[in-house]
Amino acid sequence: MFGKNRFLILITILVIAGISQITIVQCISDSQQNMNNIKLYESDSEINVAATSGILADFVGAIIDQKLDPIVDPGTCPAHYDIQPEDAAIVANADVIFYHGFEGEWFITLVNENNPSTKLIKVGNLVSGPWLPPPQAIKYLRTITQELVKIYPEKNLAFSANLNAYITQINENAAQIKQEFAQSSYYGANAVVMEFQAMFATWLGLNVMVTFGSDETLGAQDIESIVAEAEAKACTIVIMNLPSGTDAGKEIAREIGAKYAIFGNFVGDLNTESYIDLLRKNMEAAKEPITPGFDTIGINNILLLISIIGISIVLIGRRKMRKN
């Protein structure tokens, strides 16, 4: 009798344990499903962010994992931009807009007319200095990430992961780019550099001896003074900043008998697709600088001139044959 009861008790305990295990497994499964639902909901939430320049669009886009089209056209300085019809839609659809702070009145007008309630983040107030040298770019990326997390706290983990991944990518490419330029004959060369590119030129491996301003700020006497200083310091290369103009730099290069390179400062300059692409294109420009004067004629015009001369010779030859 006791044996039977013990058997029944054992069966009962096993049944209860089995039911409990099933319940626990089900609870865990339900919990996991709920977590999956939360993650799915978070990843489906829209992030409507815009940026004025190509560099900010690249940085912000990398963190939120979206391809952003900047408001300002490539090759144009945001301080001197003319509003285009398509800009209104970008601003109207944005919940947040990242901008430098030097854009000028055009930007405030664009926002006020199309989306005055959008949140504006002035990056220039949060981090100072140029963004092109990789250590500086990483400062910008960290700052932008912090601001995005404040607005989208549920995306903290995703944003942080994207930030770390992009920093790794930048560091790896930056090391390769510096190593490649170190093999160039212009590595360590004395350089005259547009002031906005001075820190990047130093990072790359140029010896910045003289700096100069944008085209609009320089007069004939200014250029004369820069040329004298550059000659005294034996500068052999001139570096320009595309959005700031290139006329002054080319003139300086001609006067001192140096070659020159044009650097981009925003993603989109020099037909670049990303920040890393911009680093590489700038390095390549410094590695193989241009001789002053050749570019003003242009290879296509040279070929055209040769063709015209050739045709002229043929025509003259035919006339002589007819006379004979």
pLDDT at 320: 58
122 φ, ψ (degrees, to nearest 5) = -90, 100
Sole residue written with tokens 């990242």: 98
**Same domain (yes/no): 235, 222:** yes
In this structure, the answer to whether residues 273 and 170 fall within a common structural domain is no
Other CB atoms within a 10 A radius of the CB of residue 197 amount to 29
More confident residue, 17 or 258: 258
Q: Is the dihedral of CA 227, 230, 232, 234 positive or negative?
A: negative
Contact 232, 215 (CB under 8 A): no
Instruction: Kindly state whether residue 200 falls inside one of the protein's structural domains.
Output: yes
List, in order, residues 6 or more apart from 184 with CB less than 8 Å away.
Answer: 286, 287
Query: Domain range for residue 138?
Result: 49-179
Q: Are residues 223 and 261 in the same domain?
A: yes
User: 3-state SS of the chain: helix, strand, coil percent to 5?
Assistant: 65, 10, 25
Contact call for residues 239 and 211 (beta carbons, < 8 A): no
Q: When comparing pLDDT for 18 and 289, which is higher? A: 289
* Domain count across the chain: 2
> How high is the pLDDT of residue 75?
78
Residue 21 reports pLDDT greater than 50:
no
pLDDT at 46: 79
Closest CA to 186 of 201, 174, 171, 170: 201
- Residue 234 covered by a domain: yes
Residue 318 lies in a domain: no
User: pLDDT, tens digit, for every residue of 137-183?
Assistant: 999 999 999 999 999 999 999 999 999 999 999 999 999 999 999 99
- Rounded Cα distance between 205 and 195, Å, is 16
Does the residue 10 lie in any domain? no
**163 and 60 in one domain?**
yes
Is there a single domain that holds both residue 277 and residue 256? yes
Regarding whether 73 and 161 lie in a shared domain, the answer is yes
- Quick one: 192 and 156 in the same domain? no
Q: Residue 316 falls within a domain, yes or no?
A: no
> Is pLDDT above 90 for 12?
no
Mean pLDDT calculated for residue range 176-203: 98
Enter the tokens of residue 232. Answer: 């005294």
Q: Considering only residues 73 and 283, tell me which one the structure prediction assigns the higher pLDDT.
A: 283
Contact 99, 56 (CB under 8 A): yes
* Domain identity same for 196 and 266: yes
Q: What is the pLDDT of residue 52?
A: 98
39-45 contact pairs (CB < 8 A, 24+): 42/154, 42/155, 43/158, 45/152, 45/154
What are the φ/ψ torsions at residue 119 (nearest 5 degrees)? -85, 125
Q: How many residues does the chain have?
A: 324
* 126, 161, 179 - which closes a domain: 179
Each residue's pLDDT tens digit, 48-84: 999 999 999 999 999 999 999 999 998 788 998 999 9
Give the model's pLDDT for residue 74.
Answer: 83
Write down which residue in 179, 213, 236 finishes a domain.
179
- The residue type of 129 is G
List, for residues 95-134, the tens digit of each pLDDT value: 999 999 999 899 999 999 999 999 999 999 999 999 999 9
Both 57 and 171 in a single domain? yes
Same domain, 91 and 174: yes
Give, to the nearest 10 degrees, the angle between helix 54-64 and helix 156-181: 130
Residue 304 lies inside a defined structural domain of this protein: no
Q: Which residues contact 176 (CB under 8 A, 6 or more apart)?
A: none
pLDDT band at 4 (very low <50, low <70, confident <90, very high): very low
195 shares its domain with 218: yes
Same domain, 209 and 156: no
Q: Is residue 29 part of a domain?
A: no
Domain boundary (156, 179, 202) is at 179
Confirm whether 206 is domain-assigned. yes
Arithmetic mean of pLDDT over the chain: 85
pLDDT reported for residue 312: 60
Which has the higher per-residue pLDDT, 53 or 307?
53
Instruction: State the CATH number of the domain containing residue 252.
Output: 3.40.50.1980
